[in-house]
Amino acid sequence: MNGMFITFEGPDGAGKTSVMNRVIAVFNQEIGDQLLVTREPGGNKISEEIRRVILDRENTEMDYRTEALLYAAARRQHLVEIILPALKQNKLVLCDRYVDSSVAYQGSGRQIGMAQVAKMNEFATEKLLPFKTIYFDIPVEVGLNRIAEHRDSSKIDRLDVETTEFHKRVHQGYMKIRDANPNRFISIDATQPIDAVVNDTIKIIHQIAKPYFKES
Ligand SMILES: Nc1ncnc2c1ncn2[C@@H]1O[C@H](COP(=O)(O)OP(=O)(O)O)[C@@H](O)[C@H]1O
Ligand SMILES: Cc1cn([C@H]2C[C@H](O)[C@@H](COP(=O)(O)OP(=O)(O)O)O2)c(=O)[nH]c1=O
């Protein structure tokens, strides 16, 4: 497999989406169509439909294992339709969330078990992991406060309305994944002002993906 696969991970409200949008603008100038930016769950028709089912606030009866399976199904389709073709074309792929989100949210947050969720996702991904994962490090309360302060209430989804306890377990899950993968995880202080977070992110990606930027 060619190309380079990098993921963004972190709790809700860490600023991944905002930073990703700013980073796209810069990298588009620098490497143009060598770049593919995408997000989970979604990015293609089938995965977007699954995403709508998962995040619908009306779906209160959804079983936690169903939720985990749906994320894995959306992930599989997104991998096959979007990520793998881009990697085959040697692209730099930046993806907002991937397997670590399931292990942290469903495995730890929902308490299904991190090892089981990781195992189930190995089936979905055929064990493809990112080369590096940029972790947006932020205390749970700071992330949740950002969402409460800024987000349009019509956009609040089924996971945003979860309890602080749930989000704390998600955070603990991320800490365990980070400790178990010190070579893959690179942490960014996501509590900084957005300009600083964007600069750190760009600097790190320039470093990890040097060959893509050598002519820019
Ligand atoms: N560094 C930052 N400082 C303050 N507010 C931020 C920062 N980054 C993002 N935000 C705000 O926090 C909210 C959540 O950010 P978002 O990018 O959607 O996070 P995520 O995608 O990680 O859930 C948004 O309203 C955004 O404007
Ligand atoms: C990919 C993935 C996301 N999620 C959750 C995290 C978010 O709360 C939600 C995705 O919604 P999204 O609006 O994309 O959130 P964010 O901007 O924070 O990335 O789904 C899981 O629980 N498991 C997963 O495998």
What is the residue-level pLDDT of the chain in tens, covering all 216 positions? 589 999 999 999 999 999 999 999 999 999 999 999 999 977 799 999 999 999 998 999 999 999 999 999 999 999 999 999 999 999 999 999 999 999 999 999 999 999 999 999 999 999 999 999 999 999 999 999 998 887 666 666 766 668 889 999 999 999 999 999 999 999 999 999 999 999 999 999 999 999 999 866
Q: Which residue has the tokens 């942490």?
A: 187
- The closest alpha carbon to 118, from 107, 129, 130, belongs to 107
CA gap 159, 138 in Å, rounded: 18
66 is in an annotated binding site: no
Longest distance between any two alpha carbons in the chain, whole Å: 53
Ligand 2 atom closest to 11 (CA): 18
Predicted pLDDT of residue 42: 75
Q: What is the pTM of this model?
A: 0.95
15 is in an annotated binding site: yes
Total structural domains in the chain? 1
Q: Where are the alpha helices (DSSP H) in the chain?
A: 16-31, 45-55, 64-78, 84-88, 99-102, 114-125, 140-150, 164-180, 194-208, 210-213
43 is in an annotated binding site: no
Q: Measured in angstroms, how far is the CA atom of residue 14 from the centroid of ligand 1?
A: 6
Q: Which residues line ligand 2 (CB under 6 A)?
A: 12, 16-17, 40-41, 71, 96-97, 101-102, 105-106, 157, 159
In the numeric block, which tokens belong to residue 42? 């979604």
DSSP string, 84-132: HHHHHTT-EEEEE--HHHHIIIIIIIS-S-HHHHHHHHHHHHTT---SE
Q: Which residue has the tokens 């992330």?
A: 143
E strands in 61-102: 92-96
Q: Measured in angstroms, how far is the CA atom of residue 190 from the centroid of ligand 2?
A: 17
Q: How far is CA 5 from the centre of its chain?
A: 12
**CA-proximal residue: ligand 2, atom 4 (nearest):** 101
**CA-proximal residue: ligand 2, atom 25 (nearest):** 102
Domain that holds residue 118: 4-213
Return the CATH number at 117.
3.40.50.300
Q: Measured in angstroms, how far is the CA atom of residue 194 from the centroid of ligand 1?
A: 8
pLDDT digits (tens, 9 = 90+) for 163-213: 889 999 999 999 999 999 999 999 999 999 999 999 999 999 999 999 999
Ligand 1 atom closest to 16 (CA): 22
Average pLDDT score, the chain: 94
- Using DSSP's 3-state secondary structure scheme, residue 190 falls into coil
Asked if 61 and 4 touch (Cβ cutoff 8 Å), the reply is no
Q: 173 — alpha (psi -120 to 50), left (phi > 0) or beta?
A: alpha
Other beta carbons within 10 angstroms of residue 154's beta carbon come to 5
Q: What are the beta bridge partners of residue 188?
A: 136
14 is in an annotated binding site: yes
Between CA 90 and CA 50, with CA 4 as vertex, the angle to 5 degrees is 95
CA distances from 97 to 53, 60, 153 (A): 18, 23, 22
Site to substitute for ligand 2 among 9, 56, 105, 158, most atoms within 8 A of C-beta: 105
**Half-sphere exposure (CA, 13 Å, Cβ side) for 91?**
20
